[in-house]
Structure formats: structure tokens, C-alpha cells
Amino acid sequence: MKSLFRLATLLTATSTVSFYEYAPAAPKDPNTPVTAQPSAAPDTELPADNPFAAPSPLAFHAPAFDRIRLEHYQPAFMVGMKQQLAEMDAIAAQTDTPTFENTIEAIERSGALLTRVRNVFSNMTSAEKTKDLQNIETELAPLQAAHSDNILLNRGLFARVEKLFKTRESLGLSEEQREVLKQHYESFVRAGAKLDETQQARIRSLNEQLSKLETKFEENLLAVAEERSVFIENVADLDGLSAADIAAAAEGAKARGKEGKYLLEITNTTRVPILSSLNNRETRRRIWEASADRGLGRDGGIDNRPLVLEIAQLRAERSMLLGFANHAAFKLQNQMAEEPDAARKMLADLIPGVLAKVQEEARDLEAMIRDSGGKHELAPWDWEYYTEKVRQARFEVDEAAVKPYFELDSVLQNGVFFTMNKLYGIEFRERTDLPVYHPDVRVFDVFDKDGTQFAIYYADFFKRDTKRGGAWMSSYVDQSHLLHELPVIVNVLNIPKPAAGEPALISFDNVTTMFHEMGHALHGMFSDVTYPSVSGTATPRDFVEFPSTFEEDWAIQPEVLSNYAKHYKTGAPIPKDLLDKVIRASKFNQGFDTMEYLAAALLDLEWHTLTSAEIPADAEKFEAAALQKYGIDYAPVPPRYRTAYFAHIWSGGYSSSYYAYLWSEVLAADAFAYMQAHGGLTRENGQRFRDTILSVGGSREPMDAYKAFRGTEPTVEALLKRRGLK
């Protein structure tokens, strides 16, 4: 997904700038007045042959990937930062009384070049990272941290923003303008604008160190995923996999220079979905341990633990310097949860019910082990495998029998796009004339219900070695009325690519991920705001997963599922009895799913509620103690992410905020239940959701937006039912 907060907490920005972006784009209309922005000095001009020097000539300013070369990024960043600093200095140097237009709008217009290059570079370093790009990213990380500090610690600039904030009630501002002003003011304060010179110098040093460490952690994760890949010698050890999966494993090994072997790669999470199919228990153990022990320096490999300890130490020091008890208190101050205890309580309150569900599921798995002739204890590498056996026995759903009905293009066209048309009246039309950064990437024009095009959508579905794990949305261009810009959005996933000539038959997990990421894409595409800093997904973290999680549930609605779940060879719809079983089975194993998530979310909060004096010497012991503290140290169900490869919190912008997925799910489940009670998949319901949630971005308080849709605050009842816990 695209991570957010253009204005929030730039001092925690990593070099993966899709997580935090400050600089909005310049106005497209040359007649739009730009207050206090003199023309760039000669040393801040970029050569015209650099494709970032001017807005892309392509539709909607889509990136000119056919022109962009490696050597274009760094000069564009350097000149872009100089240009934006010159613009900010000009705003700060004004002698006119501060107004919203000559200060806040001027800030919003600044950094056009920097935004163009950042938006492309951030997705490239996540979706198609080469060693050369990685080197540039490493070099730029501290420079970008310093750039953010140079803006947010500019005393003259802050004085103007502060004066406006203090007189905001008399300025006659719109609701969006009030929110934009508040966010700008808070960004300066949270960056250290009110600190003295000595304290600000220390903040700058901490930010520089953190930017380097967070970038290094991200680099290590790409390397460790390859390092921990498992090569199988004997095809018999792959018993249980389909012929297509075995062929893909053989091709993967060949591409790594190991022809004749079979490559099994780990995923970004602790669990590896392929474990559900492998009959050989030793093969399952090897894969699970390769995943769970990554980043621990096993066998002389990459060790992320020293990085984790140093990042935690520096974050704690910085937060205390800014007046907060710990990093979590700092991060959550401007979120819906507001404080760590609120997030912790939400998670901890679920533990008793989830533990009971997990124990029930474990008893079922242990019985299946015995019924299958096994005598071993239930181990973490057994859970997925025997869960699938129980699922088949209880619901008679065989993943291998179901996958032929989930062909990727049918899921996309007849599932995701079909649902978006039913709800919102929009239409996706594929085009092949725009350049892309990889042959797997597809491009679609997006048309509104009145036939006008309002967005461009890129889809990059298949896993590859140059792509980081997980799935995300990013924007190449953010919608803004101020800048006369329309959105250009990309979804990136990690679906295993089939062997050449084979159909892309995907798991139901990947089906729901496609719906989820489209929810993020809609949040960006339906944005209808004036200011780029609050465009699209620029909302609090514990709200941003709400629209995406909401869209997931359409995947199992019978009207939707029956439209896309068709056999890839015959076109026959999935049989009703199998369809019903798929829907029932989708609620199975929710104890495991919820517990592994709770463990990761609580682990995140435990790390980030430490003071600098409390940082442990041993990361593994701390993790074990944290899980034991909450009574969730159950070996067969480890955290979804362990400390050493928890990208969300160490390099991905979700530090102290991994709880946000569940917080957002409360909103999503409640909203979906409300919509089902009022007619379900209708244009009227979709329009209401679009108008009150998807179009407003971060231009109003999240709970106000939710109540505008729902009429009241959410309850947890729908969440408990959604997760099969009630």
C-alpha cells in the first residue's frame, strides 16, 4: 500500500519516500498566482533533457518511464531540494502579514520537481529495486532527512504558520483549510520547531542517523529474502504441489543459476502459504525456519538485531527530546487512538477470546494429525498444512480444486472491476501505449459514471526478486484542485508468477488482497480536495486501512464471487456447493489469523513504549518476554512478523501503528454491515461511501467523516462476526 502523511512527522521519514512525503507538486496552470516564489536561481535549474525537469507530457502527467534513466534521479533530487528550500526561504522572508494564501498555499505549491522525482523513485525502490537504485537510495536518505529538517526547523517559516494558527478562528477558513493549517502547524511543532538551537541540532543528528539505519534495514530485508530461499534437490520432496507450482519452482532455481533444483521462496510474513500444500514435513520445517529465523545472523547470515536496537534507542531519545514519554506516545498523538494505552487496550481485550479460539483450532489440528497417522506434536510448520486438511474435511474445500476458478484476469475484470462498477459506476479500460517500468505492469484508464476520465491506474501483480514483500498502493500524481492535477495510481502485489504459458491461478488470499489494494487505489482516485497535503490516502494510519479493508468483503459476496469465480478452461461458474463452502471456509482459522496479528501489533507497541534507558541488549529475549507478558507466547502461532524482519515498524512508517490494521477493521466491518443492511451492492450505497469517505481524503477529522457516512460511531460487533469470533 501507499503510506501516507505528507505533512505528518517528517522527521521519521525514511528514504522510501512513498511512506512520508512533504513536497506537493507545482501548479499546472501557468496563470495561477504563486505568492513569494521567485524564479529559480541558475544553480537550481535541472537540464531540460532530464525527464523530471518539467511535468511529464503524457496523459495526466503519467511517468515517462521510457525516458527515465538511472542517472536522472540524483540530479533531480538535488536540484528539487534546492528549489523547494529557495521557495520556503522566500515565503519565510516575506514582510507582508501572513495569510493563508501567501503562506500555507505557497507551501502547498512548493517542491514541484522534488515531488515528481520522489513519486517515481519511491515506487521504483519498492517495486523494481536494483543495486544501483539501492546505492542512490542509501546516499539520498540522510540528505532527504536534512531537507525535511531545513524546512520544518525554519524559524521564520514556522513563525508565519504559528501566527496563522493562533488566529485561525478569525480567518474565515473552510473546513478543509482549517484542517490543512492545523496539520502544517502540528508538523512543525512535532519536528522540533519550538526547541532551542542545541536541541534542534540534536534532532537533526538523530534524524540523519535514523534515515541511514532505516534504509539499511530495508536493504537487508531484500538481501535476506534471497539469502533464506530454500533450494530443493529432489522433486519428490515437493509432493503436494501442483505441476504448475513445481514448474515455476524449477524456473526460479534456473534463474538463480541452480538448474535442476527447485526454488521455494519465503514471503514477507512468518507464515509461508505454500506450507499448506507440502506433504513432506521436513521440507515444511526447512521453509518455516528459513522464514522465522531470517535476520538473526543464522549460519553467518544477515543480522538485523543490532540495527533494531539502535533504531529503537534513537527513536526513544528523539521522542523524549520532543516532550513525549516514548516513541509510541509521539506517534499516536495525532492518530485516532491518540495514546498507546488506547491501542494496547483494544488489542489486549481481544486476547482471551482469541486464545480460546486458537486452542479450539489447535485441538482440531492435533486430532487431524492423529487421524492422519502422525505421532508428532503440533509445530508451527504443521499449522498451515493441517489447517488445510481440516478445512477440506470440514468444508470439503480443496485449494487445488478451487484455484482453477480464480484466474487472475477474471478476478480483476469480473471481480474487482465489476464490483467497482456496481458500486461507483466507474469503468476501467486497458491501454498499452503508456510506457511502464517492467513488462508485467498493466495500465488502465479509469472513467467516471458520466463517461469522463478521472484517473490512470497501474497494476503490478507478480512477485520478483527486485520487489519488496507485501502489497501496497502508491501515487505518481496526487489529485489537487489547487494544482489542477488528476490522480495517477499504482497497485503493487506479490502474486507468484506462473510458468511460461501457464494461467495465473491464484489463492483466495491473493483474491482478497486484490480487492484490498483496490480500496486504497479508490481512496487516491476518488480524492476530491483542493490541497495536495490532504489528498487521497493522506489520513491517519489508523483510518487509512478502513477503505481498503472495507472493499475486501465484497470478494465473498455471492453476486460478486459468482461473477468472477469461473473455471479458467471451461468458463463454467464455480458450483454453488463449492461456492458456499469457499464462503464458509473463509471464516475458518480466524483464531490463528487474529492471534498472529495481535502478537505482532503488541510487539510493536512494546518496542516503542520503551524509554532510551530501557532499550534491551538482547532483541530475541525482549521479544519472548513481550509475548509472555500478554500470554500469547504459544509456539505453534508465532507473530506475523518477528522483530528482525518487521518491515512495517523499522523501515515502513508503521512504527507504533501496526495496531492500525485492526483499528481500521472495526470501521470497515461496521461500515460493511451497515451497507448490507441498506441494500448491499448498490450505486446509491457506493455514492454515499464515495462522497463521505473516499473523496474527502484527510480534509476533515476521520471520525467526523465516518459519522457522516454511518450516522454514528462504530461498534466492535461486526468485527467479531467478520473474524468468526462471535
Question: Residue 436's CB: how many other CB atoms inside 10 A?
Answer: 17
Helices (H), ranges, 256-339: 281-292, 305-321, 327-332
Give me 673's grid cell: 454491515
What is the pLDDT averaged over residues 553-565? Answer: 92
**Three-state secondary structure readout of 7-29:** CCCHHHCCCCCCCCCCCCCCCCC
Q: Which pLDDT score, from 0 to 100, does residue 217 have?
A: 95
In the predicted model, is pLDDT for residue 8 greater than 80? no
What is the pLDDT averaged over residues 681-699? Answer: 97
Q: What share of the chain is helix, strand, coil (3-state, %, to 5)?
A: 55, 5, 35
Can you tell me which residue has the cell 524456473? 251
Q: Which pLDDT score, from 0 to 100, does residue 530 have?
A: 98
At 10, the pLDDT band (50, 70, 90 cuts) reads very low
Q: Which pLDDT score, from 0 to 100, does residue 43 have?
A: 63
Q: For 265-303, how does the pLDDT look when each residue is reduced to its tens digit (9 = 90+)?
A: 998 899 998 999 999 999 999 999 999 999 999 988 999
Q: Which pLDDT score, from 0 to 100, does residue 23 have?
A: 28
Q: For 140-193, how does the pLDDT look when each residue is reduced to its tens digit (9 = 90+)?
A: 999 999 999 999 999 999 999 999 999 999 999 999 999 999 999 999 999 999
At 373, the pLDDT band (50, 70, 90 cuts) reads very high
What is the pLDDT averaged over residues 709-719? Answer: 92
At 580, the pLDDT band (50, 70, 90 cuts) reads confident
Q: Which pLDDT score, from 0 to 100, does residue 222 have?
A: 86
**Three-state secondary structure readout of 332-346:** HCCCCCCCHHHHHHH
Q: For 374-392, how does the pLDDT look when each residue is reduced to its tens digit (9 = 90+)?
A: 999 999 999 999 999 998 8
Q: Which pLDDT score, from 0 to 100, does residue 42 have?
A: 41
Helices (H), ranges, 322-456: 327-332, 340-371, 380-395, 399-402, 408-410, 418-424
What is the pLDDT averaged over residues 603-630? Answer: 97
In the predicted model, is pLDDT for residue 22 greater than 60? no
Helical (H) or strand (E) element with 262: strand 262-264
| Distance of alpha carbon 715 from alpha carbon 490, whole angstroms | 32
Q: Which pLDDT score, from 0 to 100, does residue 229 have?
A: 93
What is the pLDDT averaged over residues 649-663? Answer: 93
Give me 644's grid cell: 528482525
Catalytic residue set = 517
Percentage of residues in the chain with pLDDT exceeding 70? 94
**Could you tell me if 443 and 705 are in contact, meaning their C-beta atoms sit under 8 angstroms apart?**
no
Domains with residue ranges and CATH for the chain: 10-221 (1.10.1370.40), 228-300 (no CATH), 305-402+589-658 (1.10.1370.10)
Q: Which pLDDT score, from 0 to 100, does residue 723 have?
A: 83
Taking the model in full, what pTM does it have? Answer: 0.86
Q: For 69-83, how does the pLDDT look when each residue is reduced to its tens digit (9 = 90+)?
A: 999 999 999 999 999
DSSP letter assigned to residue 128: S
CA dihedral of residues 545, 549, 550, 551 (deg, nearest 10): 120
Torsion 214-219-221-227 (CA) sign: negative
